[in-house]
């Protein structure tokens, strides 16, 4: 069989005709008369593609797209309609449809598009499975500071559990990187990881963003929309800056975590959910609880496993590793490409307190790459305020070795570790250090790890 195709149409003749065409071409058609029935079929059967009518009583084709994508991310969806316009087709593609057909559907074109869509879907799935085998984990966690080593040590155990995780630390310390690693190492890695910055959403929209809303629930709610909890089914939701959620919404969030169900805004029925929550905060939630700004019961529900990320000023010895990482990531933007941070520039970077933490370091390196001449980052390419503040701080404040740090040795050590961990697969090594393949090969040759 060439593939299982779910045909959804409220008109019996239409779905049976389409089913017969598909069966004659070697496909296994599954027929459903409504969106609700289609979802029930997908619970029982494996499906390679969904072919659905747009206008149906009950759940529309657009609503079915949302529901299918929430349950089976990436599966191709084709839409058909007898009432279509160009705008309808555009809207359908924006919602995630692979292709849009006007009725009556051209048989030959339908079969060509179906074959192409299934082939692309299977290629993406094969690539995803292969990537998970070759490249386990998400973004590399760089650093040898004691707190970072401890986090890396316990992270696999934390990931395999189903416990809620609270990540604490200043803004820019890499909390989302840790959250993505937890998800990637967990049994939920094949399902969505959805992140939301709680501080960036207006109070009036936050509840709808989390729980979704029904059509007509409020002004502007022209259609049913599912929220993060439904979209992330079987996966992970990362709630950044959780301290900014207002108390009323905190109560509803607590209920969702305890009861494992949500209710859309304007809805009447409860919807069961299966998601893992990872929350992050740059504020002391215990202080917020004492001040009455954060619910104690929600804090205890979130604070099952707490990981605290140190600020960059407390892990100065990690700066060479991180700077090399960002140089590999941004270096190709330079003209010519920037391959090196001079010893003088690195000394200034290690004396600066980095109030913006790792995020600020990334921005400084990217800016320096754009300004650098001759393929090197020198002190004059660093921001003036960084140079001035760093120059005023004695090196001993950061407990540097008496003879300083051999930055080239640090770079070589990092590269050799990448080669070892990647098994000599250079594309994998470049990915581990998050640098371009070209920059990675250049550095391997620079240190004689790879023959010129």
pLDDT in tens, 167-191: 999 999 999 999 999 998 898 988 8
In a domain, 40, yes or no: yes
For residues 366 and 238, state if they share a domain: no
pLDDT in tens, 116-172: 888 777 766 654 554 444 444 456 788 878 889 899 999 999 999 989 999 999 999
For residues 187 and 222, state if they share a domain: yes
In a domain, 452, yes or no: no
In a domain, 236, yes or no: yes
Find the CATH number of the domain harbouring 117: 3.40.50.2300
For residues 111 and 193, state if they share a domain: no
pLDDT in tens, 205-243: 888 888 888 888 887 777 888 888 988 889 999 999 999
Among 291, 310, 329, identify where a domain stops.
Answer: 310
For residues 201 and 306, state if they share a domain: yes
What pLDDT sits at residue 24? 93
What pLDDT sits at residue 414? 76
- Total domains, the chain: 3
Among 290, 310, 330, identify where a domain stops.
Answer: 310
In a domain, 439, yes or no: yes
What is this structure's pTM?
A: 0.60
For residues 157 and 302, state if they share a domain: yes
Report d(CA 196, CA 248) in Å as an integer: 18
Helix, strand, or coil (residue 111): helix
239: which 2 tokens?
């709630």
DSSP-derived pairing of the beta strands 99-102 and 77-81: parallel
In a domain, 137, yes or no: no
The β-bridge partners of 49 are 5
Find the CATH number of the domain harbouring 371: 1.10.8.60
Is 381:345 a contact under the CB 8 Å cutoff?
A: yes
What pLDDT sits at residue 430? 77
Residue 366 parent element (H or E) = helix 357-371
For residues 273 and 324, state if they share a domain: no
For residues 18 and 93, state if they share a domain: yes
Find the CATH number of the domain harbouring 299: 3.40.50.300
Report d(CA 29, CA 16) in Å as an integer: 9
For residues 18 and 64, state if they share a domain: yes
245: which 2 tokens?
């959620």
**Cα dihedral sign, 326-329-333-335:** positive
What pLDDT sits at residue 98? 80
For residues 286 and 337, state if they share a domain: no
pLDDT in tens, 16-35: 999 999 999 999 999 999 99
Sites in the chain below the pLDDT cut of 50: 127, 130-137, 396-405
For residues 155 and 124, state if they share a domain: no
Longest dimension (CA), the chain: 84
In a domain, 371, yes or no: yes
For residues 163 and 236, state if they share a domain: yes
What pLDDT sits at residue 428? 76
Place of tokens 């960059």: 312
Q: In terms of residue numbers, what domain contains 334? A: 313-446
308: which 2 tokens?
């605290």
For residues 294 and 153, state if they share a domain: yes
């Amino acid at each position: 069989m060439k593939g299982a195709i779910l045909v959804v149409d409220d008109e019996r003749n239409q779905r049976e005709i389409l089913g017969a065409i598909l069966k004659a071409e070697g496909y296994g058609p599954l027929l459903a008369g409504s969106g609700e029935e289609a979802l029930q079929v997908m619970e029982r059967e494996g499906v390679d593609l969904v072919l659905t009518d747009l206008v149906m009583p009950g759940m529309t084709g657009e609503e079915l797209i949302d529901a299918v994508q929430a349950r089976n991310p990436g599966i191709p969806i084709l839409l058909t309609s007898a009432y279509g316009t160009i705008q309808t087709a555009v809207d359908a593609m924006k919602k995630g449809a692979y292709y849009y057909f006007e009725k009556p559907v051209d048989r030959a074109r339908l079969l060509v598009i179906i074959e192409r869509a299934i082939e692309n879907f299977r290629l993406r799935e094969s690539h995803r499975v292969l990537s998970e085998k070759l490249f386990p984990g998400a973004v590399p966690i760089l650093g040898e500071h004691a707190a970072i080593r401890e986090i890396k040590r316990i992270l696999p155990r934390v990931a395999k559990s189903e416990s809620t995780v609270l990540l604490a630390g200043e803004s820019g310390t890499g909390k989302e990187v840790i959250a993505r690693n937890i998800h990637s190492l967990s049994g939920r890695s094949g399902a969505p990881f959805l992140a939301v910055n709680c501080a960036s959403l207006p109070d009036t929209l936050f509840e709808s963003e989390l729980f979704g809303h029904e059509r007509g629930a409020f002004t502007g709610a022209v259609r049913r929309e599912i929220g993060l909890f439904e979209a992330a089914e079987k996966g992970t939701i990362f709630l950044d800056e959780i301290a900014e959620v207002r108390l009323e919404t905190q109560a509803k969030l607590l209920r969702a975590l305890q009861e494992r169900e949500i209710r859309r805004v304007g809805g009447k029925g409860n919807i069961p959910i299966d998601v893992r929550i990872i929350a992050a905060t740059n504020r002391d939630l215990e202080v917020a609880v004492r001040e009455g700004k954060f619910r104690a019961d929600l804090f205890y529900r979130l604070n099952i496993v707490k990981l605290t990320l140190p600020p960059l000023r407390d892990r100065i010895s990690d700066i060479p590793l991180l700077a090399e990482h960002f140089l590999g990531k941004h270096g190709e933007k330079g003209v010519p490409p920037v391959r090196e941070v001079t010893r003088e520039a690195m000394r200034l970077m290690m004396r600066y307190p980095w109030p913006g933490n790792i995020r600020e370091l990334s921005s400084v390196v990217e800016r320096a790459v754009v300004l650098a001449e001759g393929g090197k980052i020198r002190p004059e390419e660093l921001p003036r305020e960084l140079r001035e503040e760093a120059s005023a701080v004695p090196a001993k404040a950061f407990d540097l070795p008496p003879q300083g740090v051999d930055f080239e040795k640090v770079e070589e050590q990092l590269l050799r570790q990448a080669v070892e961990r990647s098994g000599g697969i250079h594309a994998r090594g470049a990915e581990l250090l998050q640098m371009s393949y070209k920059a990675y090969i250049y550095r391997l040759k620079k240190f004689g790890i790879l023959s010129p």
